[in-house]
Amino acid sequence: MKFSVSSDQIVRKKTAGVFLLFTVVPLFNLFHTSDQWIWYLGFFLFFIFLLLLTYLHRPTQYQVGTDSVIVCRPIGNVEINFSEIIRVDRVYHDLLKKTTTGGAFGYFGKSETDLGNIRFYATRRDKMVMLTKNDHTIIILTPDNQDEFIKSLEAKSGRQH
């Protein structure tokens, strides 16, 4: 079963701000300074590369298969087997409130939170689903339809919340 993901307003604003800051400003300076154009070009290309990497690592959808949850991304999918998952929980508070992780295109990667070190594959700060693996790794996903995602995950994995 496929589950869509969408960005919240904070992610959309941060993405636009990062894009403007690291692409438009260097390009503007590139055409208005003649003596240091190589530095501005290098700065521009470096941040275009970083934006591209960030774009390619963003989750595009989640799939609940017959034996795993798949985080679909343009650069490669992440598969989490049901046999590794020991808990599925709904998160009711903003785990990212005190962190600086994320922004452009979402929140992904490891981040230190109130609950410890967590791996995020998220595009928003609400509708979080927490998967706890048997090695105590915590993974956060943010499907648009949180309730249906949890029901599907529990039904396919044979676990109840």
Confidence label for 107 from pLDDT (cuts 50, 70 and 90)? confident
Q: In this predicted model, what pLDDT tens digit does every residue of 30-71 receive, in sequence order? A: 666 566 667 777 777 888 898 888 899 999 999 999 899 999
**Mean of the pLDDT values across residues 91-119?**
73
How many Cβ atoms are within 10 Å of 75's Cβ, its own excluded?
10
Q: In this predicted model, what pLDDT tens digit does every residue of 14-34 receive, in sequence order? A: 888 887 777 676 666 666 656
Q: How many independent structural domains does the chain possess?
A: 1
Longest dimension (CA), the chain: 66
Cα 2 from chain centre: 17
**Mean of the pLDDT values across residues 83-104?**
75
Specify the CATH number for the domain of residue 97.
2.30.29.30
**Mean of the pLDDT values across residues 103-126?**
82
* DSSP notation for 68-98: EEEEE-TT--EEEEGGGEEEEEEE-S-TTTT
**pLDDT of res. 64:** 94
pLDDT exceeds cutoff 90 at 106 = no
Residue 46's nearest CA partner among 34, 36, 54 is 54
- The answer to whether the CB of 80 falls within 8 A of the CB of 134 is no
For 78-92, 109-123, 127-141, which range has the lowest pLDDT when averaged over its residues? 109-123
The whole model's pTM is what? 0.81
**pLDDT of res. 141:** 94
Q: In this predicted model, what pLDDT tens digit does every residue of 138-157 receive, in sequence order? A: 999 999 999 999 999 888 87
Confidence label for 85 from pLDDT (cuts 50, 70 and 90)? very high
Residue 129's nearest CA partner among 90, 87, 157 is 90
Calpha distance 31→110 (Å, rounded): 38
**Across the strands, what pairs with 132?**
87, 138
Percent of the chain with pLDDT over 70: 83
Residue 144's nearest CA partner among 61, 74, 55, 84 is 61
Domain range for residue 125?
1-161
**Across the strands, what pairs with 143?**
none
Residues ≥6 apart with Cβ < 8 Å to 61: 2, 3, 4, 5, 72
**Across the strands, what pairs with 13?**
none
